[in-house]
Structure 1
Amino acid sequence: MTTSVVVTGLGIAAPNGLGKDDYWAATRSGKNGIGRITRFDPSSYPARLAGEVPGFRAEEYLPSRLLPQTDRVTRLALVATDWALADAGVRPGELPEFDMGVITASAAGGFEFGQGELQNLWSRGSQYVSAYQSFAWFYAVNSGQISIRNGMKGPAGVVVSEGAGGLDAVAHARRQIRKGTSLIVTGGVDASICPWGWVAQLSTGRLSTSDEPARAYLPFDRDARGYVPGEGGAILITEDAEAARARGAHIYGEIAGYGSTVDPKPGTGREPGLRQAIRIALADAGVSAADIDVVFADGAGDPAGDLVEATAIGSVFGDRAVPVTVPKTMTGRLYSGAASLDLAAAFLSIRDGVIPATVNVDPCTDYPIDLVLGQPRQAEVRTALVLARGNGGFNSAMVVRAAQ
């Protein structure tokens, strides 16, 4: 019998809400977390908007010894993990250390920390470069620091597949739990809103250059013009279902199915891989398209990418046959944090029977999807599909459902 893997805790740091409850209240009310960058002066850059996590002061949550050795991304991840563990009712010190693991996603690592140390190197000399630079910039730093802080010595790893990573990490966590580990901390958090990171993001040519927060990131809109980057994400506590029930844990729902593909090389004329990823995820979950109550779309924010996704959804489900939502219109695209945040939103939708709206969008009628607009839609949500795509052709799909 296949082990069921469930989610028992959520920790969220998002541009429109710090903490699970604040984020969900903001998302249900349509609060936009996108605005002009404040972490540096963006005046000389062609793109000047981002989704920044508001009011986060790491010194309020973390011991002072951790601050010199961590980037903002790791501080956000550590605090989100603390919140997720508390939400799950888990005290790591009371569990066997080899029964707990950490698998996160990352797209950038500690860019801001790296920028600071490079500036020290250039302007002051190598003796002023922090020894912590050896790991604070690294993609795997969140997994490592979470493991150390919580004494977790089970399976550990990092998944690097850009925007698809938030789903891929959770899928890898499910594999490890099925192999016998009781609990895995998983999800994704990214934060690279600094000049060095900003130039790297601009190099894709996909960022929106609009200065209007309500009209800058418009997936499936007739005026789609690129995406707005953001920081933050979500950490999820995944557990073996039997073990979770045995300790009386609250269960948000089950990770029921997963599929991933890679797009073919451009110019080959072959179909993009998203539709196949959806079909694999549905088959893995043992459900049909008719069983899906809502799709949390990736929302590229550019006409070509939006058309690919809308076509894939319409092909699998039928034209306008399933509600589709893109709550990241309130946060921007958070890279590896985006899909894990959508997973958290999906579980909260299941809990509360509500589908959050896609804000600010005037949909292009050419797309064959039923986009939830304006206000949240009340609905019985038992099973949800979350989609994610990453730069480089990564496609991932995950089916989550209410606990059986």
Structure 2
Amino acid sequence: MTAAAEEAGLLAVRTVDAAVTGIGIVAPGGVGTEEWWAAALRGESAIAPVTRFDASGYPAKFAGEVTGFVDEEHVSGKLIPQTDRVTRLALAAAAEALADADLDPAALPDYAVGVVTANAIGGFEFGQRELQELWSKDSKHVSAYQSFAWFYAANSGQISIRHGLRGPSGVVVSEQAGGLDAVAQARRQLRKGVRAVVTGGADAAVCPWGWTAQLAAGGLSTADDPARAYLPFDAEASGHVVGEGGALFVLEDGDAARERHATVYGTVVGCAATFDPAPGGGQPRLLDAARLALADAGVNPADVDVVFADAAGERAADRAEARALAELFGPYGVPVTAPKAMTGRLVSGGSALDLAAALLALRDQVVPPTPGTARAADDCPVDLVTGAPRETRLRTALVLARGRGGFNAATVVRAAAR
């Protein structure tokens, strides 16, 4: 940065506490943060046969679906024809997060609050319906809303419109890593002077078109028992299960949050992202992402009290993550958990939901269990929390995520001062 740029205030980045003051969750197992968290602590799996369409003809028949979500309770009748299911889920999560933070954007300057969300699939269900209209009828039956309802940025746009968020906005597309990458981007906006950002991730594609795409990508479990379909770090792991939903947060300037006496769940103190080399070009770089995030947070591996793992549910990927954790912390060196085993992998929403679980774990001083998996495989030397929650002292948590295409992300969160 040049002296002239500094004087002009251009490119200026300041040190700021990135405080999480609001959480909103719409995910398999619960609509609403406390409902979902209670289910996570009970270790209740929400993985079950698909109900949103007839999956009997597909090799994968289980999903983590959001149940009990009534669109009309969260979205106006006017907006329903304009939005895909994922946008309705995201709008509900954003509304809960803002209410939880007790933050009214209308009471702040025009550009004080932005929105950065992650979405990797877009509005597949909406797009599928419109394609059916096109091919079964004609173009006159295709909704004009198709022009934007399918788009990755629809969630950010609709949240911005509903709540009048005129600050910096955007969308991140990095598959399962997206939820963490969006929070990292939001943190950068706070450092540039934005007061608060609604951030996180959500995806929903439990429909034939989305299902076909997921099957083509590979890695889905074809087990015939939902209780055995997604078993992270288990010797019998055979793939993952797709889920829908996610989590959104209010990430706020810590000084501003303290001035208004806001409740703070925790602080995002470290973020990092890396990219794997092309196949055959070298080792995966999840470990590098974890190390960079710890360095960004200014903490050592010994300071980490719990890891929320990516937990792919595929033997080779699980072994690779376990080796990375063993190298960083030592074999069985830190409690590791994967509450996503109750929901399935939610694509962009998955890592955001893990971050929410980490913050709630710091709040309540308890680690949620990994449903399904009874014990980690011998070639996965991790202290996996299974069976029941583990009460322990928690100050710092590390959240990891890997996305298809080589994305890796890591986030370090620290408990709020008590």
Per-residue deviation at 1:91? 1.7
Q: Within 5 A, what are the aligned runs for 1:190-339?
A: 190-268=203-281, 270-339=282-351
Matched, 1:180 2:193: yes
Counterpart secondary structure, 2:228: coil
How far apart, CA to CA, are the structure 1 residues paired with 2:241 and 2:183? 24
Code of the aligned partner of 2:62? L
How far apart, CA to CA, are the structure 1 residues paired with 2:74 and 2:380? 44
Code of the aligned partner of 2:311? G
Code of the aligned partner of 2:306? V
Counterpart secondary structure, 2:289: helix
How far apart, CA to CA, are the structure 2 residues paired with 1:127 and 1:211? 42
Query: Equivalent of 2:150, from 133, 137, 143?
Result: 137
Code of the aligned partner of 1:11? G
Runs of 5+ unmatched residues, structure 2: 1-13
Matched, 1:346 2:358: yes
CA contact (8 A) 2:60 2:220 kept: yes
How far apart, CA to CA, are the structure 2 residues paired with 1:2 and 1:205? 42
Matched, 1:390 2:384: no
CA contact (8 A) 2:230 2:241 kept: yes
Per-residue deviation at 1:95? 1.8
Counterpart secondary structure, 1:301: coil
Q: Within 5 A, what are the aligned runs for 1:21-170?
A: 21-170=34-183
Counterpart secondary structure, 1:298: coil
Counterpart secondary structure, 2:121: coil
Query: Equivalent of 1:14, from 27, 33, 40?
Result: 27
The aligned counterpart of 2:7 is: none
Per-residue deviation at 1:97? 2.5
Per-residue deviation at 1:368? 1.4
The aligned counterpart of 2:9 is: none
The aligned counterpart of 1:364 is: 377
Counterpart secondary structure, 1:399: strand
Which string of whole-angstrom CA distances, capped at 9 and with x for unpartnered residues, describes residues 68-93 of structure 1?
00000000000111111000001222
Matched, 1:3 2:16: yes
How far apart, CA to CA, are the structure 1 residues paired with 2:232 and 2:42? 19
How far apart, CA to CA, are the structure 1 residues paired with 2:224 and 2:72? 32
Q: How many residues are treated as equivalent by the alignment? A: 403
How far apart, CA to CA, are the structure 1 residues paired with 2:283 and 2:77? 51
Matched, 1:355 2:351: no
How far apart, CA to CA, are the structure 1 residues paired with 2:41 and 2:415? 20
Counterpart secondary structure, 1:98: coil
How far apart, CA to CA, are the structure 2 residues paired with 1:145 and 1:57? 18
The aligned counterpart of 2:10 is: none
Counterpart secondary structure, 2:167: coil
**TM-score w.r.t. length of structure 2:** 0.95
Counterpart secondary structure, 2:242: coil
How far apart, CA to CA, are the structure 1 residues paired with 2:215 and 2:309? 23
How far apart, CA to CA, are the structure 2 residues paired with 1:278 and 1:106? 22
Which string of whole-angstrom CA distances, capped at 9 and with x for unpartnered residues, describes residues 11-62 of structure 1?
0011011100100100001111100000000000000000000110110122
Counterpart secondary structure, 1:65: coil
